A and B are shown apart, each in its own frame.
Chain A
């Protein structure tokens, strides 16, 4: 059990400079990653707090905890905060920012100052959002459907819309930075097919961020203008069409879900080979599947509108395309499983989160097949079935991937090891709590409980109680890592450069890395996931 360090600490990015100015004016991608880490964690807990209130209200059929209007604000702001202020930035802004330059052998991202600007834009957006929430909130649902949002809601729609608009620019700039960096700043010898698949995943994500986000930006501009000036672009009483809003909204918001899941898939693709001690199965297929998801993801948006009043033939086309986009995701799941075959498996915390991801993402993805089936969707759309589906992917998938990644790279980021048994315990708590929270919701949805319901018929209560019970367990599972990560920064065991024996350039530099990442420019002449030639951690320790 390590105690405080006596020996003088080597200079690294954390101790190179002290003081708040050195953090707030940093252009070091690693420090910016930590700035994001603190901010998104803050918003995660706000969104989580709203979720707990929602689940508490839903313990009983009657609306007896908060008023209906308050409840409507709670689910709206839960969705907005979680989507725009937690999930969309999460892995790219924290792990991506930290690791992309390291993984490709660069000294920083292409545009360090734009990187800092993207964090400030996120903060400005966040402050505006907080102000909106504290001075009345917004109750349109995170989907802002018109004409309710433009002509009927009495809440702060314009402020929330502007906050999300600004946060979109943060996302665009992150994506722009990654694409340019990956194209132009790879170390000598780092060809495209030697790139870690985490990079491929972030490249695909960045393409979506670049091309999709501007559409929701302009849509929000039009909504704000319509609400402020009583225009009629989306209002049928003024000659407009509410479905136009839905098309424009979902044109971004569907690809957005791939922004939220692709980076997690990238994380899992780093973890599974490392803890199986073998290269990923089917590198090219995994890389191409990320690109395929990004491309096809732009073609399926109206599957959110099957009962909205679109034509029968549009519905048929979008349903068919939605099945196409499921294929690359399936490929990934099979490839991860095949990677374990004839491996040498370890059950460290990151690997447990990866298992959880694969299991829950598979279930969530399969339920997507239900929703893409037109006949089924008519019954279950706008019910708890959809809520369960997307939480399986975004929480069971994306958040578990995020936590797995945080555990995997924590030694590199902080120079400390987190307590392993607590890590495994939390992973288990998260997995169990998650399933108890969201599995009953599939049943509730098929039974017919609509979403966004403050009160509900009594026969739905048992399942709601189970779900709420699960959410309290899940909350504990999320609080634990916060506590022990903080603890580890002072009391955790010092981490060596490569505690997991992992492949990837980031593990060849110290933990934590120096500000300029590498003492000497790496020159790469080996393939990715070169586990044949990397000693497993216990062997490395024996060797000295």
Chain B
């Protein structure tokens, strides 16, 4: 029981350092304020304890003092707010070019899939020194992906994607916890993040187990499900051309403009009637119930790959079918 008794979590990501810095500042501040208040109370309790013949002095108040001890804390709070907000802003803005990992949570396990195709259960292998962005969804209830050593946590919701990212700085094995109560085995829904030195990571990657990159799996699905019938790579399709679509603004026929992000792609597949692209008819079949979360992830990965240059970020080569060269997507 006493062999490991840590009092501080491991620090294994770039975020961890910033979070710890603010935390230590707050601990110090709190200790100082508590000490000040406690000391004053003790000193007053002793110095002004009841003594025969010594009456209390009736003091109504002091507006100056009240204003001072309202404004000074408020100022300190503003500092803390800004500091925390800056860290949070960075945490919620995944850097471009990050390696992507798709995560599907379900009661009570984590299913992860690398862009290159490797699948893992309750374990995530990543290399030191590379940005990793996770695209998370749940098959059932709300879960939460929590790696204390990285100081990151993100709720994982059914019906949509959420994202989180980290940049590992130290090789090691770190806890992965589910941090949103999700039923019987909530406390059993744990795993580990294995951070490897880059060379070891490459070795692990090529160690087999992959059956094609996510994007190429997605491309196969795209053909199998008949998507390519309408979503051609020219302007003749009954559906919008998806090349170059990801990340761009899309004009809908009710006038709204939305960004084609992961959630947009997902919604377009599951409930196509929700957002009709301007100039197109609402004829796309509904795929809800016909594709699993993993298949959805593969399709999303494929659509994303249609917006990457052939020598672009890791994640599988862009596979553009032969025929007409990719054209500008039909957005207005």
Contact = CB atoms under 8 A, between A and B. Distances in A.
Q: Do A and B contact each other directly (Cβ–Cβ < 8 Å)?
A: yes
Given A153-B183, A341-B48, A344-B56, A323 B33 contact: no
Interface stretch (A250-258, A362-370, A425-433): A362-370
Contacts of A544: none
Contacts of B50: 277, 344-346, 536
Contacts of B175: 448, 457
A458 B1 contact: yes
Contacts of A324: 74, 77
Interface residues of B, number: 87
Contacts of B157: 236, 242-243, 309
A382 B7 CA distance: 18
Contact of B154 (A243, A307, A367): A307
Interface in B148-183: 148-149, 151-155, 157-160, 162, 175, 177-183
A373 B22 contact: yes
Nearest to A306: B88
Contacts of A536: 50
Contacts of B4: 458-459
Interface string A57-75: 0000001000011001000
B256 interface: no
Contacts of A447: 6-9, 148
Contacts of A375: 18-19, 22, 83-88, 91
Contacts of A148: 141-142, 181-183
B33 A327 contact: no
Nearest to B71: A327
B45 interface: yes
A277 B55 contact: yes
A315 interface: yes
Contacts of B60: 279, 281-283
Nearest to A456: B187
**Size range of the interface on A?**
35 or more
Contacts of A379: 19, 23, 148, 151-153
A218 interface: no
Given A145-B181, A337-B40, A458-B4, A342 B153 contact: no
In this complex, which of A282, A320, A451 has the most chain B Cβ atoms within 10 angstroms of its Cβ? A282
A343 B91 contact: no
Contacts of B41: 337, 340, 355, 358-359
Contacts of B51: 344
Contact of B77 (A284, A327, A337, A531): A327
A309 B160 contact: yes
Nearest to B149: A448
Interface string A448-470: 10111111111101100100000
A443 interface: yes
Contact of B61 (A283, A370, A373): A283
Contacts of B57: 278, 342-343
Contacts of A25: none
Interface in B86-103: 86-89, 91-92
A68 B179 contact: no
A276 B56 contact: yes
Contacts of A285: 61, 66
A243 B159 CA distance: 11
Contacts of A338: 59, 65
B9 to A, nearest CB: 5
Nearest to A153: B183
B311 to A, nearest CB: 32
A152 B187 contact: no
A176 interface: no
Interface in B41-64: 41, 44-45, 48-51, 54-62
A369 B80 contact: yes
A96 to B, nearest CB: 26
A340 B7 CA distance: 37
B69 A331 contact: yes
Contact of A342 (B45, B59, B69): B59
A381 interface: yes
A324 B81 CA distance: 10
A453 B180 contact: no
B223 interface: no
Contacts of B222: none
Contact of B22 (A63, A237, A316, A376): A376
Contacts of A453: 186-187
A52 to B, nearest CB: 19
A382 B187 contact: no
A72 B141 CA distance: 16
In this complex, which of B73, B74, B149 has the most chain A Cβ atoms within 10 angstroms of its Cβ? B73
A446 B146 CA distance: 12
A299 interface: no
Contact of A358 (B37, B74, B182, B184): B37
Interface in A363-401: 363, 366-367, 369-370, 372-379, 381-383
**10 closest cross-chain pairs (CB), A and B:** A448-B148, A236-B159, A375-B87, A373-B84, A374-B88, A282-B61, A323-B77, A278-B56, A453-B187, A340-B44
12 contacts: A145-B142, A148-B183, A278-B59, A323-B80, A327-B70, A342-B56, A358-B37, A369-B30, A369-B77, A373-B81, A378-B91, A378-B151
Interface of B: 1-2, 4-9, 18-19, 22-23, 26, 29-30, 33-34, 37-38, 40-41, 44-45, 48-51, 54-62, 65-66, 69-70, 73-74, 77-78, 80-81, 83-89, 91-92, 107, 140-142, 144, 146, 148-149, 151-155, 157-160, 162, 175, 177-188, 190
Given A374-B85, A377-B84, 4 more contacts: A282-B61, A344-B49, A366-B26, A454-B186
